[in-house]
Amino acid sequence: MADKPRKATLLQVLRMVLSAFIGIRKRGEAEKIEVTPVQVIIVGIIAGAVFVGTIVSVVRFITR
Amino acid sequence: MSAVHAPTHDHGHDDHHAHKPSGIMRWVASTNHKDIGTMYLWFSFAMFLVGGVMALIIRSELFQPGLQIVKPEFFNSMTTYHGLIMVFGAIMPAFVGFANWLIPMQIGAPDMAFPRMNNLSFWLLPPAALLLIAAQFAPGGGAGVGWTLYAPLSTQAGPAMDLTIFAIHILGMSSIMGSINIITTILNMRAPGMGLMKMPLFCWTWLITAYLLVAVMPVLAGAVTMTLTDRHFGTHFFNAAGGGDPVLYQHIFWFFGHPEVYIIAIPAFGVVSQVIPAFSRKPLFGYASMVYATASIAILSFMVWAHHMYTAGMPVEAQLYFMYATVLIAIPTGVKVFNWVATMWKGSLTFETPMLFALGFLFLFTLGGFTGLVLSIVPVDIQLHDTYYVVAHFHYVMVAGALFSAFAGIYFWLPKWTGRMYNETLGKWHFWLSLVFFNVTFFVQHFLGLAGMPRRIPDYSLQFAEFNMISSIGAFGFGLSQLLFLYIVIKCITSGEKAADRQWEGADSLEWTHLPSPAPWHSFETPPVVK
């Protein structure tokens, strides 16, 4: 490994979690950053809640 | 991490340390991951035969309309215990067997993290299996409540239900301990240089599955415990007369039940992700995507449970929510299917038995996934709920998905486990017989379901007669084909040709590149160095 992975910014963790939601991610991108489990869990829970919230609001909008 | 000894192909080097205990105590008191893995696999095959015989009793009765062979109560008991035994006794332990054998070897660890707990995890299974079988002989016979054990049927069933509940408690404990062991092993015992993103995908799928198990097995334990207290201790969790709600049971059960589907499917994905690259002679396409897709499927699996209960009564908003969320799971699953296809693209493909089973998995699991999408659509599901369409759907996922993948894995790793090769011709026979008879059995059940035949009935109207007869013939063919599998495995162990250390030249995980065949009783006492 040439360059050491850098600590991830919030935006990078978010990008990682979102790519997990679709299931598509470049390997190079995955190895570039270093994330801690705490970061993933917090961002993951928030993104999960947003995901559920989005579907719920779509449903609300349709059944209005 | 100072040990940087790189064991190459020094045959028998590890054998010096192998002071195998002999006799029955080798197995009863075993703390060796390979022996425990072997026991898991044989146990699950035994349960596969028991559950298979139950399936054949069901199909015998359904061969013709009218009641010929068994009483309706016994028929109901058969559908119930066929499901329970196949899910908890056959498929899940089979993949735990794979995990025990392979995870330490694939990450370069000497054994599982908690070898004694590993022993306990396994030895809890036989008593649970005995309870499930003993339930048939309880007063009033087995509990004919369906494998989902829905209230209020389950709160009213006879004493067999208590044996069943206890069996599920024990099985749950075993699964949770097994999962803790797997998580700890993978996170803490990887060889130097074996980063998480360098692990074979099989280890990744088991890491994710183990988290799923730890999350949902307690939920199932809670559901059946509430059933138990409703039955005996005067609670009213599921009793509407006492202020409870039977639909609550369905919510709790399926909050476990839907992730359970993925607990079975994800390790199967892992096996296929080892087999397809090996026989395509290419690395797995989109490794990182596969890891992320698996994680995604696992997370989404917690958000979709009520698609199993559209007809139980819920507001249209909830139906829409669960429909949309369910449809979205097709995205990561599609990513995986495309990745497997892309792995084969322009590869040097050969079609030995493991690859045939992996391809059978790929085709038929995709078909089962599609019928799942059909069922996720609320108005369609309201028509098809509790029909044979559902039975066909989940057998495509469970049998052509999980079981075919387990067969692929067994043929793939038999040379490594036993040091001997199976008979390739017979293996191919096993595949083609299984493939044909599987489809004869289950494809026609789609038509039965679309025509309105309900599941879990011992008798049916005349218009369903032909397809049921075809399905029953297929079922007996499928069942008998599995005896060929038993013969192939026994013949391989006793008199197969000597296998090479790296029997499949396309296989590149540590158990093939660093260990002889058969894998020595103790392996990687000094960890290999992974570059």
Mean pLDDT of B288-301: 86
Q: What is the pLDDT of residue A3?
A: 53
Q: What is the pLDDT of residues B209-228, one digit of tens each?
A: 999 999 999 999 999 999 99
* Least confident stretch, B190-194, B288-292, B465-469: B288-292
Residue of A23, A48, A60 lying closest to B332 (CB–CB): A23
Distance of CA B26 to the CA centre of its chain: 27
B54 vs B3, higher pLDDT? B54
Q: What is the pLDDT of residues B53-66, one digit of tens each?
A: 999 999 999 999 99
Active-site residue (options: B333, B434, B471, B509): B333
Domain hosting residue A33, numbered range: 6-63
Q: What is the pLDDT of residue B215?
A: 95
- The pLDDT > 70 percentage for chain A reads 88
Tokens coding B236: 């009213």
The DSSP 8-state label assigned to residue B237 in this structure reads T
Q: What is the pLDDT of residue B2?
A: 38
What's the whole-model pTM score?
A: 0.92
Residue of B286, B296, B336 lying closest to A20 (CB–CB): B296
> What ipTM was reported for this prediction?
0.79
Q: Average pLDDT, whole number, for chain A? A: 79
Q: Confirm or reject contact between B296 and chain A (CB < 8 A).
A: yes
Q: Is residue B25 part of a domain?
A: no
* Least confident stretch, A50-54, B20-24, B53-57, B202-206: B20-24
Q: Is residue A29 part of a domain?
A: yes
The residue type of B321 is Y
Size of interface A-B (CB pairs under 8 A): 63
Tokens coding B59: 């199909």
Q: Is residue A1 part of a domain?
A: no
Q: What is the pLDDT of residue A4?
A: 59
Please choose, from the candidates B26, B21, B212, B14, the residue with its C-alpha nearest in 3D space to the C-alpha of residue B119: B26
Q: What does the alpha-carbon distance between residue B441 and residue B439 come to, in Å, rounded to a whole number?
A: 5
Which residues on neighbouring strands pair with residue A7, listed in sequence order?
A: A34
- Using the predicted structure, report yes or no on whether residue B13 has a pLDDT greater than 50: no
Q: Is residue B521 part of a domain?
A: no
Residue of B292, B325, B331 lying closest to A25 (CB–CB): B292
Which residues on neighbouring strands pair with residue A33, listed in sequence order?
A: A6
Interface test with A, best of B199, B208, B269, B320 (most A CBs within 10 A): B320
- The pLDDT > 70 percentage for chain B reads 96
Mean pLDDT of B140-154: 94
- Using the predicted structure, report yes or no on whether residue B425 has a pLDDT greater than 50: yes
Q: What is the pLDDT of residues A1-30, one digit of tens each?
A: 445 566 778 888 888 888 877 777 777 776
Measured between CA atoms, how close is A13 to chain B, in angstroms?
13
Interface test with B, best of A13, A55, A62, A64 (most B CBs within 10 A): A55
Number of domains within chain A: 1
Q: What does the alpha-carbon distance between residue B409 and residue B9 come to, in Å, rounded to a whole number?
A: 23
Measured between CA atoms, how close is B398 to chain A, in angstroms?
23
Mean pLDDT of B512-520: 94
HSE value, Cβ hemisphere, 13 Å, CA-based, for B71: 7
Contacts of B490-498 with C-beta under 8 Å, sequence gap 24+, read B491/B422, B491/B423, B491/B426, B492/B414, B492/B418, B492/B420, B492/B421, B492/B422, B492/B423, B493/B418, B493/B420, B495/B420, B496/B418, B496/B420, B496/B421, B496/B422, B496/B423, B497/B420, B497/B421, B498/B419, B498/B420, B498/B421
Under the banding of pLDDT at 50, 70 and 90, the label for residue B18 is: low
Residues constituting chain B: 531
Under the banding of pLDDT at 50, 70 and 90, the label for residue B12 is: very low
Residues of B in contact with A35 (CB under 8 A): none
Q: What does the alpha-carbon distance between residue B299 and residue B296 come to, in Å, rounded to a whole number?
A: 5
Measured between CA atoms, how close is B388 to chain A, in angstroms?
30
B489 φ/ψ angles, rounded to the nearest 5 degrees: -65, -45
Q: Is residue A13 part of a domain?
A: yes
Please choose, from the candidates B53, B98, B130, B41, the residue with its C-alpha nearest in 3D space to the C-alpha of residue B482: B53
Domain hosting residue B264, numbered range: 34-513
Q: Is residue A16 part of a domain?
A: yes
Q: Average pLDDT, whole number, for chain B? A: 93
For chain B, positions 234-293, list CB contacts with chain A under 8 A.
286-289, 291-293
Cβ–Cβ under 8 Å, residues B443 and B478 = no
Tokens coding B72: 């309706």
C-beta atoms of A22 and B332 within 8 A: yes
Q: What share of chain B is helix, strand, coil (3-state, %, to 5)?
A: 70, 0, 30
CA dist B447 → B174, B300, B363, B440, B515 (Å):
39, 30, 19, 12, 49
Q: What is the pLDDT of residue B241?
A: 93
Cβ–Cβ under 8 Å, residues B355 and B281 = no
DSSP letters spanning B300-360: HTTS-GGGG-GGG---HHHHHHHHHHHHHHHHHHHHHHHHHHHHHTT------HHHHHHHH
- Using the predicted structure, report yes or no on whether residue B4 has a pLDDT greater than 60: no
Q: What is the pLDDT of residue B332?
A: 86
Residue of B197, B303, B316 lying closest to A63 (CB–CB): B316
Interface test with B, best of A1, A59, A62, A63 (most B CBs within 10 A): A59
C-beta atoms of B335 and A23 within 8 A: yes
The residue type of B387 is T
A33 φ/ψ angles, rounded to the nearest 5 degrees: -115, 155
Measured between CA atoms, how close is B315 to chain A, in angstroms?
11
Q: What is the pLDDT of residue B121?
A: 97
Instruction: Please say if B33 is a catalytic residue.
Output: no
For residue B216, the domain's CATH number is 1.20.210.10
Q: What is the pLDDT of residue A12?
A: 83
Instruction: Please say if B273 is a catalytic residue.
Output: yes
Q: What does the alpha-carbon distance between residue A36 and residue A18 come to, in Å, rounded to a whole number?
A: 16
- Using the predicted structure, report yes or no on whether residue B9 has a pLDDT greater than 50: no
